[in-house]
Amino acid sequence: MSDTKMVSLDAMDEQLIQKAKQEGVETMWDRKVTMKAPCGFGEKGVCCRICAMGPCRVSPVEGKGAQRGICGATADTIVARNFARMIAAGTAAHSDHAREIAHVMHLASKDGNYTIKDEKKLLRLAEEWEVKTEGKDIYDIAHEVAEIALNEFGKPFGTLRFLERAPEPRKKIWEKLKIKPRAIDREIATIMHSTHMGCTSDAESLIHMGMRTALADGWGGSMIGTEFSDILFGTPVPRETEANLGVLEEKQINILLHGHEPSLSEMIVMASQDPELVKLAHEVGAEGINLAGMCCTGNEVTMRHGVKIAGNFYQQELAVLTGVVEAVIVDVQCIFPSLTPITDCYHTKFITTSPKAKITGATHIEFNEEKALESAKGIVREAIENFKNRKQDKIFIPKTKAQATVGYSVEAVIKQLDRVVNSQIDPLGTVKPLADVIKAGVLRGAAGIVGCNNPKTQHDYGHIEVMKKLIANDVIVVTTGCAAQAAAKAGLTSKDAAKLAGKGLQAVCELVDIPPVLHMGSCVDISRIITLVSETAKFMGVDNCDLPVVGVAPEWMSEKAVAIGNYVMASGIDVFLGVLPPVTGSPEVVDLLTNRVEEMTGAKFFMDEDSLKLADMMLVRIEEKRKNLEKLG
């Protein structure tokens, strides 16, 4: 069993890991110990298995060991190809999520399960995409807009529509670099083709291609995912909730929602309020149905309904260990296959719902969007009927939970900013107050802190330490994904946390009535951050790269994070990584990412495994950007 010393910032995690040990249950920490040190070749990115002449492992050290693969590929080629493929996989995951949501919008109807919740946002998008709306039924408009979005995945000509939202200088940079993405699927396919054996071997060309594909994620798939989810399920507004495993209820049916796409979780929320199912819950002896979210599905439903947050990526096994989860319901992405053996040790049902993510040993109940509510009710019923199987001697719910304020969509942020606008002088509904406090130096800058958990770091340590250091230095933090859940659990997304901020940020929090760390949603909602930065840059008449803004992923682990890092960088925002990507076997690729890309995009990557050093580097960079911004006037 594992050495659990210091695996988590949260003592409660440690208690559950101890419980697992006592009950003879294996967790990821045990497997991490069994795994020992990671493979050095894989870690440096110099292992190639693209063709069957290999696998080839080349030496990252010049003049020592194999310098080329059998085909002659160098370490630079192998590293850059692997990295580009990570970007393609990440882009595919976010974008396929978006495609599903666009299909759901195409299905939406007045009397159906899926309706339009934010008509204004739909009409704004219709206008942006030149869809005629006059005299048309809102659902006809929705279907037309959905069809246009679906064409963004495979259109034969042109570039992505949302690129037009970027500041003018940014569009010119993309134009000059020839990295404006064409259709989303095309960019993914191009990477897969170009990285096939015997195609591109030039590292710079691969990094360049990677940027274009990543932009297809940020300004394509992810942006469609966010916009369409808001139109269908409502644009988030600030609301109160609680976070951490202490939100699980001993006397209720606990259903854990885990995964990513809100089309399923929205229906589960509706089903959990169905009077017949609530009655059934009472009949089996429970006091009610308690939904709790995990990973990005958790973020989607907390942003729109205030559903409590059970935890982040690292806690999916720990939630089951409490012994009170009747069902873990998942769709796609970030789901441990180990949920099968671990749920087998308890009464918990592990229910997969997507044909894209079937997991051996799980109960598969396919979610049918055409009969969405009926499907969701069936799934909730399974959970209720499982309540009787709880093993009382295995129950342990940690007490820890924190109050959190969530729901900061761009629209919600602007509405909060309106509180300080003198409407006699300035128009409402702009980012002017934000631009003003940044220019004046009341806020030194802003940081988007995002991403996962990774056993290479102590659970949540990177997220929390970086956030605390930045807010103490008057840098406002916006956050999504598992980083947002870490912040919520640590109380940093509560308005009370303003006391940890520097004087400038404290004053802003008080005047605008916001916490110093704003929960902006799920991983696809990094598009909200990109939109907010771009709107501020446009308002100030500059480019994204001129603003004192940084992107940070202290504990990232997934290929989606690699796509995100690259689209954030290609959008002109520096990216700080607390986990090294598998590129260190190629000095050429490291030099490109941490140095030469800046000449192209105005931004670059910074990497350091020491979170506090990383935060110091951010503060230095923010001040450098401030000096340049002053020169721009």
- Which amino acid is present at 124? R
481 contact, one of ligand MSK, ligand SF4, none, CB 5-8 Å limit per kind: ligand MSK
Q: Which residue number, 46 or 561, has a Cβ lying nearer to ligand SF4?
A: 46
Q: Are 486 and 464 in contact (CB under 8 A)?
A: yes
Please list the residues that pair with 446 across neighbouring strands.
Answer: 476, 549
3-class secondary-structure state, position 504: helix
Site for ligand MSK in 109-168 (CB under 6 A): none
Q: Does 313 bind ligand MSK (CB under 6 A)?
A: yes
| Helices and strands (H and E) in the chain: how many | 26, 16
- Which amino acid is present at 446? A
Identified binder of ligand SF4 from the candidate list 69, 210, 504, 585, rule CB under 6 A = 69
Site for ligand MSK in 330-359 (CB under 6 A): 334
Q: What is the dihedral of CA 496, 502, 503, 504, to 10 degrees?
A: -100
Q: Does 70 bind ligand SF4 (CB under 6 A)?
A: yes
Q: Does 560 bind ligand MSK (CB under 6 A)?
A: yes
437 contact, one of ligand MSK, ligand SF4, none, CB 5-8 Å limit per kind: none
In whole angstroms, how close is the CB of 332 to ligand MSK at the nearest point?
10
Nearest-angstrom CA–CA distance, 354 and 349: 16
Q: Are 272 and 329 in contact (CB under 8 A)?
A: no
| CB-based contacts of 461, cutoff 8 Å, min separation 6 | 9, 555, 611
- Of 292, 332, 293, 304, whose CA–CA distance to 233 is shortest? 304
Q: Does 50 bind ligand SF4 (CB under 6 A)?
A: yes
51 contact, one of ligand MSK, ligand SF4, none, CB 5-8 Å limit per kind: ligand SF4
In whole angstroms, how close is the CB of 73 to ligand SF4 at the nearest point?
4
Identified binder of ligand MSK from the candidate list 210, 407, 451, 548, rule CB under 6 A = 451
Identified binder of ligand SF4 from the candidate list 89, 138, 192, 197, rule CB under 6 A = 197
Site for ligand MSK in 479-538 (CB under 6 A): 481-482, 522-523
Distance of CA 95 to the CA centre of its chain: 13
First to last CA, the chain: 60
Phi first, then psi, for residue 252 (nearest 5°) are -120, 165
Q: Which residue number, 41 or 567, has a Cβ lying nearer to ligand MSK?
A: 567
Q: Does 309 bind ligand MSK (CB under 6 A)?
A: no
Stretch near ligand SF4 under the rule CB under 6 A, chosen from 19-27, 54-62, 207-215, 263-271: 54-62
558 contact, one of ligand SF4, ligand MSK, none, CB 5-8 Å limit per kind: ligand MSK
Identified binder of ligand SF4 from the candidate list 16, 17, 56, 224, rule CB under 6 A = 56
296 contact, one of ligand SF4, ligand MSK, none, CB 5-8 Å limit per kind: ligand MSK
- Of 451, 478, 470, whose CA–CA distance to 560 is shortest? 451
| The Cα angle at residue 114 between residues 109 and 117, in degrees rounded to 5 | 90
What kind and span of H or E run contains 469? helix 461-472
In whole angstroms, how close is the CB of 349 to ligand MSK at the nearest point?
22
| CB-based contacts of 327, cutoff 8 Å, min separation 6 | 255, 256, 348, 349, 350, 351, 379, 382, 383, 386
> Which token pair is 361?
């040993």
Stretch near ligand SF4 under the rule CB under 6 A, chosen from 64-72, 178-186, 277-285, 312-320: 64-72
601 contact, one of ligand SF4, ligand MSK, none, CB 5-8 Å limit per kind: none
In whole angstroms, how close is the CB of 42 to ligand MSK at the nearest point?
20
Q: Residue 614 CB: number of other CB atoms within 10 A? A: 22
Q: Are 32 and 3 in contact (CB under 8 A)?
A: no
70 contact, one of ligand MSK, ligand SF4, none, CB 5-8 Å limit per kind: ligand SF4
Q: Which residues bind ligand SF4 (CB under 6 A)?
A: 48-51, 53-56, 69-71, 73, 78, 197
Q: Which residues bind ligand MSK (CB under 6 A)?
A: 295-296, 313, 334, 451-452, 481-482, 522-523, 558, 560
